[in-house]
Structure 1
Amino acid sequence: MPASWGLFLCNCRKTLPLDPEKLILPTAPSVLTAASEPKSQAPEFAARIERERPDRVLVSCCAEQKLFDEALAGSGPQPPKVQFLNLRESCFLPHLDDPDRAHAKATRLLRAAMESVETNETPVYNSLKVGANVVIAGEGLKAKDLATKLRDTIRPILVFPASQATADKAGSGQAYTGKVVEVHGRLGDFHVTIEDGGNGEKNRRELKAAQVVVISPDGSFPCKPRTGCHLLAHPGEADLDRVAERIHELTGDFLKPVQVTYNTEVCAGGSAEQEACGVCITACPYEAISRDPENHLRMKVDHMACEGCGACVSACPTSALRFTEPSPQDLYARLAALLAPSSGKSDGEAWTILFYCGEQGKRALEAAGRKPLPYAATVLPVEVPCLRYVSEANMLEAFRLGAAGVALLGCESCQHGERELLYQKSDLSRLVLDAFALGSERLRLFTADTGMEAEAIGALSSFANALKPAPIRWDGRPMREQGNREVIAGAIATFIEQTGREAGQRSLEPSQPFAFADVEESGCTMCRSCVNVCPVHAFRLEESTSSLQFKHISCIGCGLCETVCPEKVISLKRAIYLERDALEYQTVAQDSMVSCLQCGKPYINRKALEAVEARVLSLGSLLDTFSGSRRGLLRMCPNCRAVAAMLEVDKGWKP
């Protein structure tokens, strides 16, 4: 039974052209308040909620969330889940000149918000204690100034450059001479390596701290910024005040959310004592993922070190790593709600899915809503923690669901580092779009810097306005799987079906985790080595047809099959095949079965038997074992062979 809803829709004292009758929602709300004065009408709304008892509540209002939290707190022993949505800044202010499209967009944003409440998972937290020890390294006067600002509650550990040490260490408490050369760890547990080059010798010392501040006169730093690691380039007084405040905020006891879950069952980290995939390790900019010391074929996630950028989730080809917010279920439910036709049929609009980061991308959209900065009403925003979270599966699924374009809006200079992973995912998505003649120009990356929000929003709007209607129509089929490979396979299948073309092979760069296993059938003995070692089950042995089968879309190109193949008849080709056959298991080698000489049951394929006989009989030490009446032992199934061997022993044979 679908959940019942209570909706509070505010037109901000009649300054917005919001008309609830123009909104097409998936279910009629049991409580609907079209408000103009939120302060006076919020208590009335809460009273209706208490009487009608809807399962969920959605509020769209520019008033503070606290107003509704307090009003709804008394609505029974179990207040309904509340979702907040700012239609004022996301729809109506930037699109005042086009109220019809603003309402169409509002319909989709409301549907997505309602879906989000249904798919949200209960967060899990870990306890985190952050002590008061803070390493402050760099320019002496600035370091001492910051230490002074922190002296009431923080225990600073100062590190001065050798040139300033004599003058600056005096009266500084715990202080060292040298420079910071390495910083490892995470908030609450940093390990800071300092190097002192005095007397012509380089001596290293490790300091432990809960937080770190590095002050650089030229903007060069020995580490990346992360929570609790503050990097300052020639800071002014305001910068020092800001960092001091942030250090105080991060000191104490906290509950840190678990942002990534890990499923060992689908991880392709290795198999049969052979290490395979490990792309998540190199993708993480914070050393939060490593091979598990207790099982080197699997990974270990340091949830305390995780900064929640999502790079590992995008990199993982099997979706063994999954983000918690947004989870795959939440993200894909949002996309479907945003792109599904409002009235059951296409409205002819060229809708653009905009993945935007929670930093500069979010600030640019907020600026567009506040100023306002008009932009295309066909842009449907989807927030992600960082653009590196967005995978090729996310992009291609948006197109499968009917998006005319996909845009990415993020920071000009990402705090999490380089975007090479995002470029790889975008390149693959463009390759697939071009292969089906859908147009790689439908995917675009935009960046915004502080003070440049208007330019970024303008470029985004021009992109969206230039798009023609979607080349792919959503077929209405629900998603069954949310793993990256399954989503990609579903998108390719839809593209084949709706374009009427199979695009064939496309070569890929070595960094792309797709490959085709070329098996030389004449030399394959179907020994199962590739089947046993493949971590993603791209190979299987079909007993009923005595055939070795390969599923191309599942292959991540780890190379284990090449390594373990005793006949050396497997070679990997870094490519993707955009064909129906590539989405299912296909026979790559087949053989006839040999029946047991005794019981007549098939027990081994012919090529495997011939290979075993050739190897065994080539060993001089075993010639007597399989001679005379015992020559047929290898032609028997294991059960009959054991019985026949025991009968030979009874006759006096000594194995």
Structure 2
Amino acid sequence: MPTLICDCNQTMPLQPRAIGEALHEDLTLHSTLCRREAGAFQKAIQSGDDVVVACTQEKRLFAELATQTEGAVSAIRFVNIRETGGWSRDAAKAGPKLAALLAAAHLPEPEPVPTVTYKSAGRLLIVGRLDEAERAADLLGEGLDVTIFSLGGQGAQERRYPVLGGTAPRLTGWLGAFEFSWSNDNPIDLDLCTRCNACVAACPEGAIGLDYQIDGSRCTAHRDCVKVCQVAGAIDFERAPRSQREPFDLVLDLGATPLIDLHAPPQGYFRGTEPATLIRLRDGVGEFEKPKFFVYKQKLCAHSRNEQVGCNACIDVCSAQAVSSDKARQQIQVNPHLCVGCGACTTVCPTGALTYAYPRAGEQGLKLKTLLSTYAGAGGRDAVLLLHSQERGRALVEQLGRAAQLKLKKVQGVPANVIPVALWHTASTGLDLWLSALAFGASQVAVLTTDEEAPAYLAGLQAQMAVAQALLSGLGYGGIHLRLLRANTPEALDAALQAAAAAPAQGPRVPARFAVAQEKRSTLDLALDHLVAQAPGQPAEQIALPAGPAGLGAPFGTLEIDKNACTLCLSCVSACPASALQDNPQLPQLRFIEKNCVQCGLCASTCPEQAITLRPRLLLTPQRKEARVLNEAQPYACIRCGKPFGTLKAVEAMVGRLSGHAMFQGAAQDRLRMCGDCRVIDLHTAQNETRITDL
């Protein structure tokens, strides 16, 4: 795969030989690849091999040039080495980082994922004051079928658009499938109204405005309006309020209170009349596809078992309300049309029931390993992975690079050991990938957030970082390994990056070589095993972990059993989604495999005796992977056949609770002390004896 690098008119101190050695490729340095040396680009794209172009500034120009080049058959990949490192105060030391970015660009494209389809015919609902709504409709031009829901105001006398009116407007749905409902309690039928204004002039209280809605608080029932509207027949005070609903494809909400007040509103819902918004509305007609960002495995889900709710982490963190509880099926549901692909639900999921698919964890892990191994192979040290969003985060990084090149505001630019990595969303990576990156050789993982992230995302990131840092500190690795950076200006980002770059954290002596698995728990085990094996010194037998806020606790831990309260009913065993709790078919025992426990809390919420307490920790001894007995009891032998069928404590507790009940006296009470088989036999025998006596 040919690589084309350009120092952008000699504004970057690139070292083609060193970069080429890291890529195992002979590189030619260009200075005006997009101008005088464009022939080198044209020759490369005629080779048939994929071509990596180290320039995003002129991406559009290169794409146009490719269409004009005869025999151009190569796919082109673009990577930014200018703002991410070449334009920095320490650009001369950025060679290993630039080699790493170019190596990652050589990786195969991620495998395709299933898609979600939207179909829009252009039925647009504008909600707002009549005058504002009509102006917005006029700006949108032709191509959209506009309907207005009036929130008051004075509209034009010429009826250019259908107008709806009423109270209690409500909106649900997404692009191509919105449902708008309201209560039509206005005595004036807007479909019949001719806007002659006779009712407005006739109303003595001034209760009728030019939106042709009647203000009930001012109307005193003179009904002069009804008299002047006899011909059109548009006014009827006897008409009962009707619930109305209509489908729409797009919604422009100009009301003071949003109809959908979410951090991540659904596709097709817009607010405001900024030019960018109007352009997106005009383009909202047709058939569209987006990736299905997640994969859900119900059998791993810790949300609900046996009508008990355990984990709500994915529901609580979703800023689009795409995740909900399906109580009938005791599982969650994810609406792919509402999902915006932030991935927060997948990173807070303790079991891996929800996994991110765009890209998949294995593909993301391969990219991180390639970046870090190439960086280290080229002589780089103390790598800081900077994870940022592909929109505002990327723009902020590029602004910082340009400011450094122009020597504006005394910023330094992206440090030589900071490797930017663009993500679809910053919440799409979590504990498993962060620990894997540190095992692969990163000194730190920094996540850049701007004002585009929802508060729930930040809470989720902070909780996971607290767990990861506790693990690393407990293993003896010095320094701060996880950083949540908050920045909205180049100056703030520069200060945060300079602080991180100047404070390297201790990592494993030997980088890991494992492949990131799609299964979250498998990846966590691989990363932890390597970090434990490479830990400096001798760590303690266990590491205490922060419990975190509700739904965002540590994914590892043990259980404490109140043996005085526990009756070994084993309801917790059937509730456990991870097979961490197990029974013993031979003896009345409750056994526990700590490695499997995800601290979801289903066992605690299921326990009728409230005898279970969760304690987050990481056990480092071999017992973590072994079954151990949490509680056991003396078996109770059937009073008829002598076979053990329960525990002495449980049977005595049952008999004690039912001893005062009229239905459990005498022989009926004795049956409580029998196994299931003997209980049936004894009951059948008693019934036969009763029949014989009756005869």
Q: TM-score range by the shorter chain?
A: 0.7 to 0.9
Contact 1:160–1:179, Cα closer than 8 Å, also in 2:
no
Residue 398 in structure 1 maps to residue 437 in structure 2? yes
Question: Equivalent residue for 1:103?
Answer: 95
Question: Equivalent residue for 2:63?
Answer: 66
In structure 2, distance between residues paired with 1:171 and 1:614? 78
Residue in structure 2 matching 1:208, options 240, 247, 252:
247
Residue 318 in structure 1 maps to residue 379 in structure 2? no
Residue 227 in structure 1 maps to residue 270 in structure 2? no
Contact 2:100–2:374, Cα closer than 8 Å, also in 1:
no
SS of corresponding position for 1:382: strand
Residue 573 in structure 1 maps to residue 569 in structure 2? no
2:392 is aligned with what amino acid? Q
- CA distance change for structure 1 residues 185 and 338 in 2, over 3 Å: closer, same or farther? same
In structure 2, distance between residues paired with 1:439 and 1:199? 71
Residue in structure 2 matching 1:184, options 172, 194, 197:
172
Question: Equivalent residue for 2:43?
Answer: 44
CA deviation after TM superposition for structure 1 residue 357, in Å: 1.4
- CA distance change for structure 1 residues 581 and 174 in 2, over 3 Å: closer, same or farther? farther
Unaligned segments of structure 2, at least 5 residues? 184-212, 219-240, 406-412
SS of corresponding position for 1:250: coil
Contact 2:479–2:503, Cα closer than 8 Å, also in 1:
no
CA deviation after TM superposition for structure 1 residue 361, in Å: 0.9
Question: Equivalent residue for 1:550?
Answer: 592
1:517 is aligned with what amino acid? L
Question: Equivalent residue for 1:132?
Answer: 122
- CA distance change for structure 1 residues 544 and 131 in 2, over 3 Å: closer, same or farther? same
2:18 is aligned with what amino acid? K
In structure 2, distance between residues paired with 1:442 and 1:14? 36
CA deviation after TM superposition for structure 1 residue 310, in Å: 1.8
SS of corresponding position for 1:191: strand
Question: Equivalent residue for 1:361?
Answer: 393
Deviations 1:120-147 (A, max 9, x none): 1213223321122222223444322210
SS of corresponding position for 2:387: strand
1:133 is aligned with what amino acid? R
Unaligned segments of structure 1, at least 5 residues? none
2:497 is aligned with what amino acid? S
- Identical counterparts, % of pairs: 23
Question: Equivalent residue for 1:87?
Answer: 81
CA deviation after TM superposition for structure 1 residue 22, in Å: 0.8
Contact 1:17–1:92, Cα closer than 8 Å, also in 2:
yes
Question: Equivalent residue for 1:339?
Answer: 372
CA deviation after TM superposition for structure 1 residue 275, in Å: 3.9
Q: Cα RMSD (Å) of the superposition?
A: 4.5
In structure 1, distance between residues paired with 2:563 and 2:629? 7
Question: Equivalent residue for 2:419?
Answer: 380
- CA distance change for structure 1 residues 69 and 532 in 2, over 3 Å: closer, same or farther? farther
2:612 is aligned with what amino acid? S
Matches within 5 A, 1:198-347: 198-200=215-217, 206-215=245-254, 223-224=261-262, 225-232=265-272, 239=274, 241-292=275-326, 296-340=329-373, 342=375, 347=379
Residue in structure 1 matching 2:544, options 505, 509, 513:
505
1:377 is aligned with what amino acid? A
Point out the structure with max Rg over C-alpha: 2
- CA distance change for structure 1 residues 347 and 242 in 2, over 3 Å: closer, same or farther? closer
CA deviation after TM superposition for structure 1 residue 105, in Å: 0.2
Contact 2:479–2:505, Cα closer than 8 Å, also in 1:
no
- CA distance change for structure 1 residues 264 and 289 in 2, over 3 Å: closer, same or farther? same
Question: Equivalent residue for 2:196?
Answer: none
Count of residue pairs brought into register by the alignment = 613
Deviations 1:332-351 (A, max 9, x none): 2222222236566x957221
In structure 1, distance between residues paired with 2:366 and 2:612? 39
In structure 2, distance between residues paired with 1:525 and 1:430? 38
- CA distance change for structure 1 residues 173 and 458 in 2, over 3 Å: closer, same or farther? same
In structure 1, distance between residues paired with 2:610 and 2:672? 29
CA deviation after TM superposition for structure 1 residue 242, in Å: 2.7
- CA distance change for structure 1 residues 98 and 530 in 2, over 3 Å: closer, same or farther? same
Contact 2:122–2:249, Cα closer than 8 Å, also in 1:
yes
Question: Equivalent residue for 2:189?
Answer: none
1:277 is aligned with what amino acid? C
CA deviation after TM superposition for structure 1 residue 654, in Å: 10
Contact 1:493–1:580, Cα closer than 8 Å, also in 2:
no
CA deviation after TM superposition for structure 1 residue 379, in Å: 0.9
2:40 is aligned with what amino acid? Q
Deviations 1:234-279 (A, max 9, x none): x5xxx2x332211011221122321222222322232344443232
Residue in structure 1 matching 2:502, options 433, 449, 466:
466
With normalisation by structure 1, the TM-score equals: 0.78
Deviations 1:391-413 (A, max 9, x none): 23333333333322222223225
SS of corresponding position for 1:199: coil
Contact 1:392–1:429, Cα closer than 8 Å, also in 2:
yes
Contact 2:384–2:417, Cα closer than 8 Å, also in 1:
yes
In structure 2, distance between residues paired with 1:379 and 1:466? 11
Residue 536 in structure 1 maps to residue 572 in structure 2? no
CA deviation after TM superposition for structure 1 residue 578, in Å: 5.6
- CA distance change for structure 1 residues 227 and 94 in 2, over 3 Å: closer, same or farther? farther
1:41 is aligned with what amino acid? A
Residue 23 in structure 1 maps to residue 19 in structure 2? yes
In structure 2, distance between residues paired with 1:631 and 1:367? 76
In structure 1, distance between residues paired with 2:562 and 2:445? 41
Contact 1:23–1:104, Cα closer than 8 Å, also in 2:
yes
Residue in structure 1 matching 2:3, options 3, 7, 10:
7
Question: Equivalent residue for 2:230?
Answer: none
SS of corresponding position for 2:330: strand
In structure 2, distance between residues paired with 1:523 and 1:73? 81
Residue in structure 1 matching 2:461, options 406, 418, 422:
422
Contact 1:138–1:179, Cα closer than 8 Å, also in 2:
no
In structure 1, distance between residues paired with 2:473 and 2:242? 56
In structure 2, distance between residues paired with 1:491 and 1:174? 61
CA deviation after TM superposition for structure 1 residue 288, in Å: 1.7
CA deviation after TM superposition for structure 1 residue 107, in Å: 1.9
